[in-house]
Structure 1
């Protein structure tokens, strides 16, 4: 499938997509850490940087703890990931010069920017990433010992792209870059008019 843009943009945005067919190939730790390094430099309101990442490499207890939280549908393909990453955000922040934490309204927004940076860096390095909302937050929180005050946003599978034939038949047809809504459905001038 060809991904057509309405206006010229850098190809990194249309070439990156979220495959499910993964080879299970091991990822070297410096490579994985470079993805987190890209996320570290994402924009952040008041430079709070609320994002936190907990990862597990395939074959480790960390991987198993994250994997155990996935819904069965995601377990079916994410078992072949090289690494699983829990994307977490701090719900409060400590304003400069204060001692009382305040609710941080944009914690998930900022963390989404960090996740996007991670995904683009992974793509640039020849790896793929696939974010999942299908997980049990209580299981993930317990498995990773995430304290209260931190929001569990998603789980990301990272790996090398494999042949779609390794997927269940129903998923093989979906193993292609997806289109996007036209700009007219997501952008308006002056007032909300969708």
Structure 2
């Protein structure tokens, strides 16, 4: 007997929400189909408009869409991620400027860059693309290979492309190629102070 891991059976919202938020997930299987520049630029445009503390916009994106540039990325991505991400036609390194314009530390740079990443993920989904973020890579080597200045934090990498079939993945990833569920609101939302339940949730 097989288990149904479809979105309809795995991701059941507790309250009404746009289907975009339910249907976006992080597959590992990508085809090698190139992303048209106009489509990729639309995805990046969405990130440009992400919320930003005091409009400092600390995010920066280094994209790899040529074979030579992707191979640079492959040099610092751990083998466990390279095994599936090498097929993706575009890789993006997310970095963020750690200081405000006056030179003081910016405590919001990673949060803002996370908002930009979410914008990319959702806009990509709207345009028929899949995305998968990964933290498994050598950050110091990435800084060296891509010549990232010290004032920028290296956050994560995302693979982006058109979704492929689970059967195209190395065997160890095939069982994991399915949408994941989420914790209930009652576990993540509190009323007034940490740990206090919200009535009705």
Same fold (TM over 0.5): yes
Give the structure 1 partner of residue 160 of structure 2: 158
Measure the CA separation in 1 of the matches of 2:172 and 2:188. Answer: 30
SS across alignment from 2:91? strand
Q: After superposition, where does 1:16-165 map in structure 2 within 5 Å?
A: 16-59=24-67, 61-94=68-101, 100-165=102-167
d(CA) in 1 for partners of 2:157, 2:144: 15
Q: 2:183 aligns with which of 143, 164, 181?
A: 181
Structure 2: how far apart are the matches of 1:31 and 1:68? 27
What is the aligned partner in structure 2 of residue 97 from structure 1?
none
1:102-135 residue CA offsets vs partner (Å, 9 max, x unmatched): 1000100000000000000000000101000101
Q: Distance in 1 between matches of 2:74 and 2:152?
A: 19
User: Aligned equivalents of 1:114 and 1:87: distance in 2?
Assistant: 9
- CA–CA distance in 1 between the matches of 2:66 and 2:166? 20
Q: State which drifts further: 161-170 or 9-18.
A: 161-170
* Contact 1:70–1:135 (8 Å) recurs in 2: yes
Distance 1:5 1:163 in 2: 26
Question: Is the 1:26–1:58 Cα contact (8 Å) retained in structure 2?
Answer: no
Deviation at 1:58, TM superposition (A): 4.2
Quote the RMSD (CA, aligned, Å).
Answer: 1.1
> What per-residue deviation string (whole Å, max 9, x for no partner) do you get for residues 21-43 of structure 1?
11111112221111110000001
Q: Which runs of 4+ in 1 moved over 6 A?
A: none
TM value normalised by structure 1: 0.94
TM-fit CA distance, 1:45: 0.6
Distance 2:66 2:31 in 1: 11
Can you give the 5+ residue segments of structure 2 that lack an aligned partner in the other structure? Answer: 197-201
User: Structure 2-normalised TM-score?
Assistant: 0.91
Structure 1 unaligned regions, length at least 5: 95-99
How many aligned positions are there? 188
1:85–1:157 contact (8 Å) kept in structure 2: yes
Where does residue 15 of structure 1 map in the other structure? 23
